[in-house]
Amino acid sequence: MFFGLFKNKAKAEPKKLFYTTDIHSHILPGIDDGSPNTEISLALLSAMKSWGIENVIATPHIAEECFENSTYTIKCAYEKLSTYMLDMGIEMPVSYSSEYRLDGGFKRLMANNDLILLKNNYLLIENSFVQPPIDIKNIIYELQLKDIKPILAHPERYSYYQRNKDVYGELFDAGCEFQINLLSLTGYHGEREKETAMWLINKGYISFVGSDLHHFGHVDAINRFLASKEYDSIAERVKDIIKNDELK
Ligand SMILES: [Fe+2]
């Protein structure tokens, strides 16, 4: 029932997203707070395809207190989805990495060089939403010593940074790149997140946009955004400053 979008063209073509490589999503089945099973994974991929996404990088959480994933569990989930897609005759380029929470577990993974890198040695990292990692600048530096380029996921969502925007400039100057959430641009995460995302864009701090897609509530929000009047102006503002395609 979910597979119609792969086969049938809608009568009225919906607007497409302003990028075709999505570098942040939770569409691997059953290993974090994203898709619970392969059927839902395919339905989420189907929605992404309808937006014009051509390459999907799945980035399940690795966070020691809530998502005890590893390179192995992520690989297994990816293989499960790949097998299911093959069985269903569905082709869509999907690869995987992870969204690494900056916690004690991450430091061990970093020390063991057990990190699933994105193309060109990029790595997607995230903070706790409760408090900032006190040593984030050291972590950025240690990653750079390993020739790894950190991308901080959804900087606009951390309330402690929203209240102290100077930190954004400090992290940017330290060489950390930023990925804002498409969902923040839709207003889904709140007005403050949307304002902060636009502020970051206007400061020239943004390198990437990601869907951070977890579930159908997110799909609905993005569909509404694509149909909205403000979509065109935001897309025009952002499309030429991001480099998502470098990671395809
Ligand atoms: Fe995420």
pLDDT for the residue numbered 11 = 47
Q: How many helices (H) and strands (E) does the chain have?
A: 11, 9
Strands 94-96 and 122-126: unpaired
Contacts of 42 (CB under 8 A, 6+ apart): 2, 3, 84, 85, 88, 90
Q: Which residues of 91-123 are buried (b: 16+ CB within 10 A; e: fewer)?
A: eeebbbbbbbbbbebbeebbeeeebbebeeebb
pLDDT for the residue numbered 10 = 47
pLDDT digits (tens, 9 = 90+) for 74-111: 999 999 999 999 999 999 999 999 999 999 999 999 99
pLDDT for the residue numbered 26 = 98
CA atoms of 76 and 38, how far apart (whole Å) = 12
Our CA angle for 165, 169, 171, nearest 5°, is 105
pLDDT digits (tens, 9 = 90+) for 26-81: 999 999 999 999 999 999 999 999 999 999 999 999 999 899 999 999 999 999 99
Query: For 179, phi and psi rounded to 5 degrees?
Result: -120, 110
Six-digit token string for 189? 């995460």
3 pLDDT tier (thresholds 50, 70, 90): low
Distance 34 CA to ligand 1 centre (A): 9
pLDDT for the residue numbered 134 = 86
| Contact yes or no for 14/50 (Cβ under 8 A) | yes
Distance 11 CA to ligand 1 centre (A): 32
pLDDT digits (tens, 9 = 90+) for 177-231: 999 999 999 999 999 999 999 999 999 999 999 999 999 999 999 999 999 999 9
Contacts of 93 (CB under 8 A, 6+ apart): 54, 55, 56, 248
Distance 195 CA to ligand 1 centre (A): 20
Distance 99 CA to ligand 1 centre (A): 6
Six-digit token string for 8? 């049938």
What is the C-alpha radius of gyration for the chain, rounded to an integer number of angstroms? Answer: 17
Distance 24 CA to ligand 1 centre (A): 6
Distance 228 CA to ligand 1 centre (A): 24
Q: What is the DSSP letter of 25?
A: B
| Contact yes or no for 213/25 (Cβ under 8 A) | yes
pLDDT for the residue numbered 52 = 96
Distance 19 CA to ligand 1 centre (A): 18
Our CA angle for 91, 27, 25, nearest 5°, is 105
Domains of the chain: 18-247 (3.20.20.140)
CA atoms of 197 and 174, how far apart (whole Å) = 19
pTM, full prediction? 0.93
| Contact yes or no for 210/22 (Cβ under 8 A) | yes
Distance 121 CA to ligand 1 centre (A): 19
